[in-house]
Every structure is written in structure tokens, then in C-alpha cells.
């Protein structure tokens, strides 16, 4: 949810942000009208309620006829209060609904436009030139079969399309990646978390996934619960309804969880292999910090993502995602796209978003800060006790992929394959894999 104050004070800013995403600004006027109606309704209810309380106080002291008169008077008033309260409730609800329909205001630096209007910020490493090396690269499906690492046939048999079993070195590879990711996370100061992958509607809605992304979300039949598409969801809700200690920020979590996605509307895309699947495991970085620090923290998350990809010795580019392709909650998003040799293009491996206060406002997470942190306080003069100590203020959230297992496995297998079908293990993973090369089970298997 965006800041209601910005809507009221600077609606043109909201209109501009809507335009940048390619959305209508009609919601702005709807929301402004709802805000006015809401405030009028609040005024009416409160006036009636105050009157009721005033009269109510007189009743215990009153006697006889006077008391009867008061009772009659206050009885009709009670009905009016009830009606005014209901009207206020409806006005609040309409206002809230209007506000909730507005996505976070895209950052000034975010490129305008849709999916194809991203800006390439940086290219790291050089894609391998297999032609120069003199052999045709195998895709990850074939490599996975040769190594006994990925079993797609049985995935389909047991669970359907877009499912897989990781077996042997495939399973080892995932566990090694989890370990490497968690090791890095710990070293840079994250708290490791194993997060639930089923959540209540509050968490799903609070992170903005029941908006335009609702089609991609699995709902549990007969229960008011959802399977998460990322541990961003449980982690954003982790501190819901809490007031954090401002001095404890930033709170950095690295959460492991399975991720479930319907992939509705992607029929025909990436049908082969494990690029696009209904379930995968992921280590996600999630940070609670101050609004002032959010932009700098976003850069740090990007650096940690790059650090991880560097350890895997992958070639990749970093893109600045355009406004129309941002999620509901984000003001800016950077994707790291690794080079996939057999596709001849860069594919998204990681993604980091700055959601500012959008999610915490929905989920009611705030922090207690030292007073006057943002206000001017150098007024001098009287040395009286002005500093009231602390004040409650907003908290920003950011998320970033550390390692999404399946796509990372694809990139590693394809990038580090050798002519004989074996795959070189990146140095950083060797410690966890216990070997330097993954060998095919049999030269001619399959």
C-alpha cells in the first residue's frame, strides 16, 4: 500500500507513476474521493459518539423523570451512533480498497515501459565460445540424463509436466548450492531461516501476490491457505503486527524454502527441462531496514547476488527492469541473467527488488526510532527537556534471490560442460561436492 499522505498531498506524483507503468490514473481520483468521504464519515461518527458518551455520564446521577428523559434521548442517539459507525466502516473500506489497488510508485531511475524496455546495466564475464573450442554444447536436459542428475521422465510420470527428480549428483548439486549460499549469507551477516511454504491469505496478500499475480498462486483446496511462490512471502509477514527496535535494523534473513508457481499463461514457453517448473527450492535474501537505507541496501543485495554468481564462474548481465514489468510492491528491480549456451541468450537467475514501505504498511510492521532522526533538531535556545525519546516510523523491505536451484543448475551444467559430457565443478562448489568433475554414468547411456 502506498503512503496515503503522498496521495493526498501530491496526487500528480501518483498519476505520473501510474503512467510510467502504463496504467490508468483513474484510481487516483477514486482514491482521493474515497479519502474525502472517509474523513467526513469519521467526523460525523466521532461527533455523535462524543455526544453519546457525554449523556451517558449524566445517567447514573439523574433521578426520576429526568432520568427517564435522558434514557429516551440517549436511546435514539445510540441508534444514530450505530448508523454513523457503519457508514464510517464502509467509507474506510472503500478508501482502503482504492489505495490497495495502486501499485508502489516506480523509482525515478526505473526505466519507463514494459517487459522489453529494460536497460542493461552491466555485463560480467564472457560467454564460452563452444565453436572455438570445437564442440557442440549439450543442453541441460541431455547433460542431466548423462550424469544421472535430472530425471524428467519420472518427474512427469509422478507429478506431471514441469516436474523433475534431482538424483545422484543432481541432488548433491542442489545441496552444495544451498550450503554455498547459506555460507555466504552467514559470512556477510544474514540470519539463516527455514521458512514455511504454506501461508495464510494475510501473508500472500500483504506481499502483493493476490493482485495481478494471483493466477500464478496455488491455493490449498478446502483450506484458506496458499503455497508460496517465494519465501519473500513468509519473510515479509515474519514481523507483521510488530514494532521493531530501530537500532536493530537492518534485519537480514536468508530463507530457504520450496517455491510453487502455477506458471499460468506460460504454456509453450520453456517446456523442456527445468528452466520453468511448478516447484523449485530457493535461498532468498530478505531485509528489513530504514526507508533512508533502502536504496543503498538494494545495491548491496545486488552485489551479494553478483558475488554468488561469480563464485559459480558464470557469465551474466545485470538489467534494470522497466516499470511495467515490476511486481506490485517494487519501485525498482534488478535481474541478474546468466548466459545459457544452448539458448544463446541470457536468462534470469536472480532478481532483487526494493519494496520500500509498501509491504510493511500492509502487514503492519514498523520500528521505534530515536526521535528527531529526520527532523531538524539544532534549534538551540531553551535547554529544556524537549526530546521525547522515541517515535514509531515506517520500515522498508527488500528481497533478492541468492540461489534458485533449478535455473542455477541449468547454468552450471551448460556453462561448465566438457566435450565428453562431463561437467567441471566450479571451485567454490568443490568443497561441498567433494570432487572437481561430474562424470557421465556411462558414455552411451540414454
Q: Which is nearer to RNA, 49 or 128 (CB)?
A: 49
Closest separation between CB of residue 80 and RNA, Å?
A: 10
6, 26, 33, 50: residue in contact with RNA (rule CB under 7 A): 50
16, 37, 55, 175: residue in contact with RNA (rule CB under 7 A): 55
Catalytic residues, by residue number, are: 261, 276, 348, 351, 407
Residue 119 binds to RNA (criterion: CB under 7 A): no
Cα separation values, 425 from 125, 317, 407, 420, 428, Å: 17, 22, 16, 15, 8
Residue 366 binds to RNA (criterion: CB under 7 A): yes
Residue 374 binds to RNA (criterion: CB under 7 A): no
Closest separation between CB of residue 50 and RNA, Å?
A: 4
Identify which range of 25-33, 39-47, 291-299, 315-323 contacts RNA by CB under 7 A: 39-47
Closest separation between CB of residue 4 and RNA, Å?
A: 7
23, 32, 37, 42: residue in contact with RNA (rule CB under 7 A): 42
Q: Which is nearer to RNA, 319 or 367 (CB)?
A: 367
6, 33, 69, 71: residue in contact with RNA (rule CB under 7 A): 71
Residue 43 binds to RNA (criterion: CB under 7 A): yes
Q: Which is nearer to RNA, 90 or 122 (CB)?
A: 90
Closest separation between CB of residue 252 and RNA, Å?
A: 24
Site residues for RNA, window 389-418 (CB under 7 A)?
389-390, 392
Closest separation between CB of residue 194 and RNA, Å?
A: 13
13, 15, 49, 128: residue in contact with RNA (rule CB under 7 A): 49
Site residues for RNA, window 222-251 (CB under 7 A)?
243
- And the C-alpha cell for 412? 552450471
Instruction: Write out the residues near RNA by the rule CB under 7 A.
Output: 4, 39, 42-43, 45-46, 49-50, 52-53, 55-56, 59-60, 71, 74-75, 77-78, 81, 89, 243, 366, 368, 385, 389-390, 392
Amino acid at each position: 500500500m502506498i503512503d496515503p499522505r503522498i496521495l493526498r498531498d501530491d496526487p500528480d506524483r501518483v498519476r505520473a507513476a501510474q503512467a510510467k507503468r502504463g496504467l490508468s490514473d483513474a484510481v487516483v481520483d477514486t482514491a482521493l474521493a474515497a479519502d474525502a468521504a472517509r474523513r467526513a464519515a469519521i467526523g460525523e461518527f466521532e461527533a455523535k459518539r462524543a455526544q453519546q458518551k457525554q449523556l451517558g455520564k449524566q445517567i447514573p446521577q439523574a433521578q426520576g423523570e429526568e432520568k427517564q428523559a435522558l434514557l429516551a434521548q440517549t436511546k435514539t442517539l445510540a441508534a444514530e451512533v450505530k448508523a454513523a459507525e457503519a457508514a464510517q466502516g464502509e467509507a474506510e473500506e472503500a478508501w482502503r480498497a482504492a489505495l490497495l489497488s495502486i501499485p508502489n510508485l516506480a523509482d525515478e531511475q526505473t526505466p519507463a515501459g514494459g517487459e522489453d524496455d529494460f536497460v542493461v546495466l552491466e555485463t560480467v564475464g564472457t560467454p564460452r565460445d563452444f565453436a572455438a573450442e570445437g564442440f557442440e554444447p549439450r543442453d541441460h536436459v541431455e547433460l542431466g540424463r548423462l550424469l544421472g542428475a535430472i530425471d524428467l521422465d519420472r518427474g512427469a510420470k509422478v507429478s506431471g509436466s514441469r516436474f523433475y527428480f534431482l538424483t545422484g549428483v543432481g541432488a548433491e548439486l542442489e545441496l552444495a548450492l544451498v550450503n554455498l549460499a547459506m555460507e555466504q549469507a552467514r559470512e556477510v551477516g544474514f540470519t539463516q531461516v527455514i521458512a514455511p511454504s504454506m501461508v495464510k491469505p494475510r501473508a500472500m496478500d500483504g506481499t502483493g501476490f493476490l493482485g495481478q499475480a494471483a493466477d500464478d498462486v496455488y491455493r490449498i483446496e478446502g483450506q484458506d491457505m496458499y503455497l508460496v511462490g517465494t519465501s519473500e512471502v513468509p519473510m515479509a509477514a515474519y514481523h507483521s503486527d510488530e514494532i521493531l527496535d530501530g537500532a536493530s535494523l537492518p534485519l537480514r534473513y536468508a530463507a530457504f524454502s520450496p517455491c510453487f508457481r502455477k506458471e499460468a499463461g506460460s504454456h509453450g514457453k520453456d517446456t523442456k527441462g527445468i528452466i520453468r517448473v511448478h516447484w523449485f527450492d530457493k535461498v532468498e535474501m530478505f531485509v528489513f531496514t530504514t526507508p533512508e537505507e533502502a536504496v543503498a541496501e538494494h545495491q548491496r543485495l545486488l552485489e551479494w547476488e553478483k558475488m554468488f554468481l561469480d563464485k559459480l564462474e558464470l557469465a551474466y548481465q545485470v538489467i534494470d527492469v522497466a516499470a511495467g514489468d515490476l511486481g506490485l510492491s517494487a519501485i525498482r528491480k534488478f535481474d541478474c541473467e546468466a548466459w545459457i549456451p544452448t539458448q544463446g541468450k541470457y536468462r534470469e537467475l536472480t532478481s532483487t527488488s526494493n519494496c520500500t514501505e509498501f509491504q510493511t504498511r500492509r502487514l503492519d510492521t514498523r520500528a521505534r526510532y530515536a526521535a528527531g532522526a529526520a527532523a531538524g533538531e539544532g534549534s538551540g535556545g531553551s535547554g529544556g527537556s524537549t526530546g521525547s525519546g522515541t517515535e514509531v516510523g515506517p520500515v522498508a523491505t527488500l528481497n533478492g534471490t541468492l540461489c534458485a536451484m533449478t535455473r542455477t543448475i541449468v547454468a552450471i551444467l551448460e556453462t561448465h560442460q566438457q566435450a565428453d559430457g562431463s561437467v567441471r565443478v566450479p571451485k567454490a562448489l568443490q568443497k561441498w561436492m567433494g570432487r572437481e568433475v561430474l562424470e557421465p554414468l556411462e558414455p552411451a547411456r540414454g
